[in-house]
Amino acid sequence: MKIATIRLREYYDQASTTEQAIIDFVLRHPDETSKMTIYKLAEVTYSSPSSIIRLCKNNGYSGYKEFAKALIYEQAVRKNYKKKDIADVTKANSIGEVVEKVTNKNIISLEETMSLLDYDVLETCVEKIDRCKKLVLFGIGASLIVAKDAQLKFTRMNKMAYVSEDWHTQLLMARNMDENDVGIIISYSGQTKEMIECAKTVKQNQAELISITKYGQSPVTDLSHHHLFVAANEYAFRSGAMSSRISQLNLVDILYTAYVNRQYEKSLEILEKTQIRKESDADD
């Protein structure tokens, strides 16, 4: 399902003055807009039905009906987050309660992340990764673990991927990228200053930039060309990323598997070639 408000934000700079007025209203009142007819929306935005239809088509929708449907779906997902309220882990919880709460939280995070995926954006990301000369991954803290997992997976498929544990080295790699390269920035908040700096540098060098962040607008998503979102439902008790990390790893698995599927037969050969076999106990 296409994420309507994100599409509109991405399109805003190239929209006409009339289209920008419509977008401004929709972004301020998404829930209200989802219940409006095209004629009512035209009235409140001082535009016309034809302008609204043109805006919808420019954003990949067949018309206002499909756009309204996507907007309704998006609002339903947002409301669904609020309903799924799993209490935080407390000092009084037994080990069984901790197991149940953490596991359920992770399951919900995966389900909600799946509902946020825009398949068109995902397909574009896989295509960009397939065609790029160099894949550079960015992340710090828990997100660095996810970046390193992605590096290992893509390197095994002979898609050379690069990541560094040192932020300054990540910035240097960003400075050495060009239009033939793709960067993937992994940041749950999308507001980590080091990742913002890397994102700015990647974009300045005209390389494609993919972001993996929590759902919503952030400095990192604003700088990125393609956005992949995880559900924003971490515990308040968050000594380290938990459900967000699981969802980020799942997104990496999806990107990797979709990449492998693009060249299935060749991928099987590479996987066989790069498998590192362990000696059995009988050979010891």
What are the structural domains, with CATH classification, of the chain? 4-80 (1.10.10.10), 116-272 (3.40.50.10490)
In angstroms, the CA 38 to CA 46 distance is 12
Burial of 94 (0-12, 13-18, 19+ CB in 10 A): exposed
What is the token pair recorded at 279?
Answer: 């000696």
| Per-residue CA distances from 25 to 8, 66, 251 (Å) | 11, 18, 32
Tell me if the pTM is above 0.75: no
Task: For the chain, give the longest Cα–Cα distance.
Answer: 79
In angstroms, the CA 170 to CA 172 distance is 5
In angstroms, the CA 16 to CA 71 distance is 21
What is the token pair recorded at 187?
Answer: 């940041």
In angstroms, the CA 130 to CA 259 distance is 7
What is the token pair recorded at 72?
Answer: 């309704």
Burial of 210 (0-12, 13-18, 19+ CB in 10 A): buried
**For every one of its 284 residues, what pLDDT tens digit does the chain have, with 9 covering 90 and above?**
557 887 888 788 889 999 999 999 999 999 899 899 999 999 999 999 999 999 999 998 999 999 999 888 877 766 665 455 556 667 787 888 888 777 777 877 787 788 788 888 999 999 999 999 999 999 999 899 999 999 999 998 889 899 999 999 999 999 999 999 999 999 998 999 999 999 999 999 999 999 999 887 899 999 999 999 987 665 544 444 567 888 899 999 999 999 998 887 777 777 777 777 766 654 54
Proportion of the chain in helix, strand, coil states, percent, rounded to 5: 60, 10, 30
